[in-house]
């Protein structure tokens, strides 16, 4: 049945098990503030019993600690990762749209709505005193302020595009680094767990990397057996946006490739397309995460080649539409869309200045030489980056052509100005309405998009925190629980020690006290 000191062996297993429990409790407590650490526990079971001499029944042989497990629920992880990914996407969108809103919002001092309103106010003032150089200068100054701020807004949007491009590059580098680390950890975990142990700390590090990766893009994790029959899965696969990213100890990489051709005419050169190094395209339609948020804002043009999202190219296109339409309407008195005359509007080119000379271009573009184009202009070449008021008119306010006749007695009548004033609310100018309604719609659309991104971000933040709290309830170290475990293992250790002392006294009496 066993040795004569069989009882000592049983008591000793209890002593060792209690000590293992105290050691693990100490380990848990020391990692209470360690990010990503999952609470561990000893795996303990009754030792294999022995048959009794009589052949009836069995005698227990104590306890055995056969491993160390960790409290982690993979189901909660699988719930957490997609929520974090969506949160990352809308967090990026809200952050970037908020930056755009700073300059394009109606509340900004340099907002387009304020600039347009000031310009038409100055025209209204000139309509009453059309021969006043002071009011002419006021119109020229407010017009110059308008075109300058439009160029500034477009330049800021382009710079934001460049910054987002840099962010995308840095994020791809980080994603690739995480993939390499996960592959390395997979191999370490595989080697450690060959004999049936559990690499708890390594698994925590890997799960923490997956948590970070899920912020950048949508991930899916699969763990499967290698056919060895072991309890734990041995092969670990990570899918990034449905594409195999890590296959156990190997990983594919993303790469940033500079575009040979611009996706949009006003894009800065050198923007990156992101693809897999094996040449596979990154499916942007199914992508989520911060990377998706960055790419949508950088490239989104609401249905064009950049996707359905209203990103920076969309708002630059709206600025381009405004400047081309306004330049054409005020210079020619016609609609840009169909070249039909605007009711009651006389183009600046059809008016006459204070000297009785025909008017030229009021709104034009900055040419390659840095000067404004003064004669004929291709309106399709005008954009928010080169939009300008004529240098000759800025230099001489008398060249502002606001009269419809060169009659020396009527060179300062206000019929051209009165026509210009109609453009503010002429609903046929843009599909959104007049000039004021159009620029108001830009800021309103941006405000709605920003608010929508904030609502989604807030919603997924609450969902993510809820799921993460569930994970923490399972995995986090509780000081109160660890104190209770410490007291329990302390008592077990003391009881096992007492049992050994008692057995020792029995054998001492039997062997030494009953001798003849």
For the record, the structure tokens of 232 come out as 């734990």
pLDDT in tens, 3-56: 567 888 899 999 999 999 999 999 999 999 999 999 999 999 999 888 877 767
Is the pLDDT at 271 greater than 60? The verdict is: yes
pTM for the structure as a whole = 0.88
- The residue length of the chain stands at 516
Q: What percent of the chain has pLDDT over 90?
A: 73
**Non-local CB neighbours of 424 within 8 Å, separated by 6+ positions:** 116, 120, 434, 435, 436
Could you read off the pLDDT of 64-107 as tens digits, one per residue? 999 999 999 999 999 999 999 999 999 999 999 999 988 777 65
> Is the confidence at residue 471, as pLDDT, over 90?
yes
* d(C-alpha 516, C-alpha 512), whole Å: 9
Give the pLDDT band (50/70/90) at residue 515.
Answer: low
**Contact assessment for residue 457 and residue 94, using Cβ atoms and an 8 Å cutoff:** yes
Per-residue pLDDT, 1:
47
Strand, coil or helix: 84 = helix
What span, in angstroms and rounded, lies between the C-alpha atoms of 299 and 440?
23
State whether residue 38 is helix, strand or coil.
Answer: coil
pLDDT digits (tens, 9 = 90+) for 413-470: 789 999 999 999 998 999 988 999 999 999 999 999 999 999 999 999 999 999 999 9
The yes-or-no verdict on residue 488 having pLDDT over 90 is yes
State the DSSP string of 285-341.
TT--SHHHHHHHHHH-BSSBTTBSSB-HHHHHHHHHHHHHHHHHHHHHSB-TTT-PB
What is the arithmetic mean of pLDDT over 307-314? 94
């Amino acid at each position: 049945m066993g040795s004569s000191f069989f009882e000592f062996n049983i008591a000793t297993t209890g002593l060792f098990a209690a000590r293992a429990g105290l050691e693990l409790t100490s380990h848990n407590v020391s990692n209470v503030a360690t990010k990503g650490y999952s609470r561990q526990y000893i795996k303990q079971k009754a030792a294999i019993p022995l048959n009794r001499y009589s052949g009836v029944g069995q005698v227990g042989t104590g306890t055995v600690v056969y491993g160390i497990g960790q409290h982690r629920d993979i189901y909660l992880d699988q719930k957490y990762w997609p929520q974090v990914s969506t949160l990352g996407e809308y967090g990026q969108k809200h952050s970037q749209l908020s930056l755009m809103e700073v300059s394009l919002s109606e509340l900004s001092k340099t907002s387009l709505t304020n600039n347009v309103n000031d310009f038409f106010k100055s025209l209204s003032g000139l309509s009453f005193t059309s021969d006043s150089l002071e009011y002419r200068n006021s119109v020229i100054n407010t017009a110059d302020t308008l075109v300058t701020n439009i160029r500034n807004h477009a330049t800021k949007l382009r710079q934001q595009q460049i910054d987002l491009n840099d962010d995308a590059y840095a994020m791809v580098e980080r994603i690739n680094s995480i993939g390499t680390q996960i592959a390395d950890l997979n191999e370490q975990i595989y080697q450690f767990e060959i004999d049936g142990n559990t690499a708890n700390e390594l698994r925590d590090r890997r799960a923490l990397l997956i948590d970070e990766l899920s912020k950048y893009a949508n991930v899916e994790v699969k763990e499967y057996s290698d056919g060895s029959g072991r309890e734990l899965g041995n092969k670990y696969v990570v899918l990034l946006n449905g594409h195999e990213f890590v296959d156990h100890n190997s990983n594919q990489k993303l790469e940033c490739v500079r575009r040979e051709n611009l996706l949009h005419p006003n894009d800065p050169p050198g923007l990156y397309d992101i693809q897999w190094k094996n040449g596979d395209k990154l499916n942007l339609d199914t992508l989520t995460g911060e990377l998706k948020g960055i790419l949508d804002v950088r490239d989104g043009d609401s249905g064009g080649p950049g996707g359905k999202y209203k990103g920076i190219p969309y708002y630059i296109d709206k600025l381009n539409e405004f400047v081309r339409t306004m330049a054409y309407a005020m210079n020619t008195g016609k609609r840009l869309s169909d070249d039909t005359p605007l009711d009651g509007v006389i183009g600046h080119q059809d008016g006459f200045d204070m000297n009785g000379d025909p008017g030229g271009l009021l709104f034009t573009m900055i040419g390659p030489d840095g000067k404004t184009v003064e004669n004929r202009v291709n309106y399709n070449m005008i954009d928010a980056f080169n939009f300008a008021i004529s240098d000759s008119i800025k230099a001489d306010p008398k060249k502002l052509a606001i009269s419809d006749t060169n009659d020396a007695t009527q060179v300062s009548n206000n019929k051209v100005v009165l026509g210009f004033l109609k453009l503010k609310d002429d609903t046929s100018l843009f599909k959104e309405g007049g000039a004021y309604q159009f620029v108001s719609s830009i800021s309103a659309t941006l405000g709605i998009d920003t608010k929508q991104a904030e609502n989604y971000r807030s919603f997924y933040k609450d969902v993510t925190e809820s799921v993460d709290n569930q994970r923490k309830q399972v995995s986090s170290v509780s000081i109160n629980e660890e104190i209770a475990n410490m007291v329990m293992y302390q008592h077990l250790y003391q009881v096992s020690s007492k049992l050994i002392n008692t057995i020792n006294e029995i054998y001492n009496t039997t062997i030494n006290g009953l001798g003849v």
